Structure 1
């Protein structure tokens, strides 16, 4: 069996197990830590089946492990227990029972898993096929690492802002957040493009694989960012002005 097909099948099986627990605990936020850790065992499995040098393996592994640590750490420090569920999941399930459960299974669990699986696919071209170390892989690895740093800085700036109780009803518009309403999502999107660039460095990846990071980018542009914007519009009186002046995703000087 094709190794990536095998990985995809097990990825789906694992997702269904997470879904079962989410259903039993009536909390779909149990999926969140799975999103951040699932790529790591997948990549480790690929490295165990790789004939490439340790140098190549580390260039791929290190940024992905750092990305996973960052996301998992974020989840741990923001976790409010089993009683708390992400508002986006609550909204998706705010319908009749059958539709709510379909949204839970597909919209919250299976579709995101398939998007992650597709976005991670390019690394298989580097790890499964025998290739030589090249400057393009180094550049792709550095690019991916910088994307993780961008996410980390964005998260730190937002946490510091929220720790000041006087900012509870205010909009964060400092640091990277002055130039983008969602710099953390920008970093996440760039991370997956970094994964794509790693695959490109193999020199054998087909053209259609540009869809791998593009689907993830569209997820943020058309779903995640608008949902976060709408929530902020509902909760912060100054957010509309900030929204009108500040780029949605890409870093850009604010309008006057």
Structure 2
């Protein structure tokens, strides 16, 4: 790779890193006034989507690669941002963040600042999925573009469906305190998380055969690790198991992430309703 291209890539990554750090600093300032950290979630999705657009515009790679990155990243980011905004705006603070405040006490303000900056770093690492194809002068083949588009469509469509099913379930007061175990949620305790991980795999398909394409394996693995081991399942399921009757049984019979037939009959799950 020519030195000029390397300098351009470094500059693009540096600008994206600074923009993300500043954006999450602003969101941190807003939560100081509201004492509610909910907006970190839509800000995260919006920030990554904006990085995709920026990388596609500023990138020096093949035009076809950059178009795919721009459309894929922007459309994914827009849908998720709107969904998270509707879910979080003017709602009580997510129990995860409230628990952090309680546990940290006087150090909460400082620790939340670094938590927000950690989100910026995570967003930057995920954006590797955009940096690699957008900086490659070698265009992805038509087959890889179509393959990436297929994975993207299944992932984003599946995540949107899972989000809608959950939103409808929660909105029905008759389901208060119950466990959602129908639709996609019959086969996975967190189908939205599964499809989120799958989304990042689309850029791996796009980057097959491209220079440094192996790096695009990192985002889906990072997302899966974060959701399974850090901020997703551990915190959420500990709370649900303690507050919802039947959730512990649901955990024993239903796959945590990858959709898979439950180990019990559907009628056994329906008894929770």
The normalised TM-score by structure 1 is: 0.89
1:55-74 to structure 2, matched below 5 A, reads 55-74=64-83
Deviation sequence 1:3-46 (CA, Å, 0-9, x none): 21221122112211221222232221121221111122212222
Out of 21, 44, 47, the position equivalent to 2:30 is: 21
Query: Corresponding residue for 1:142?
Result: 150
Deviation sequence 1:176-212 (CA, Å, 0-9, x none): 10010000111111112223333x2361116455333
Q: Does 1:160 align with 2:200?
A: no
1:42 and 1:34 map into 2 onto residues whose CA distance is: 12
Query: Corresponding residue for 2:228?
Result: 221
Query: Corresponding residue for 2:132?
Result: 125
Q: Which moved more, 1:90-99 or 1:154-163?
A: 90-99
1:71-82 to structure 2, matched below 5 A, reads 71-81=80-90
Deviation sequence 1:210-248 (CA, Å, 0-9, x none): 333322211100131121111211221111111110011
The normalised TM-score by structure 2 is: 0.84
Cα drift, residue 72 of structure 1: 2.0
What's the Cα RMSD here?
A: 2.1
Aligned residues: 253
Distance 1:208 1:69, change over 3 A: closer
Q: Does 1:239 align with 2:247?
A: yes
Contact 2:53 2:69 in 1 (8 A): no
Out of 22, 30, 47, the position equivalent to 2:39 is: 30
Contact 1:119 1:196 in 2 (8 A): no
Q: Which SS does the other structure have where 2:163 is aligned?
A: helix
2:209 and 2:50 map into 1 onto residues whose CA distance is: 21
1:93 and 1:189 map into 2 onto residues whose CA distance is: 28
Contact 2:208 2:214 in 1 (8 A): no
Out of 17, 20, 34, the position equivalent to 1:11 is: 20
Q: Which SS does the other structure have where 1:145 is aligned?
A: helix
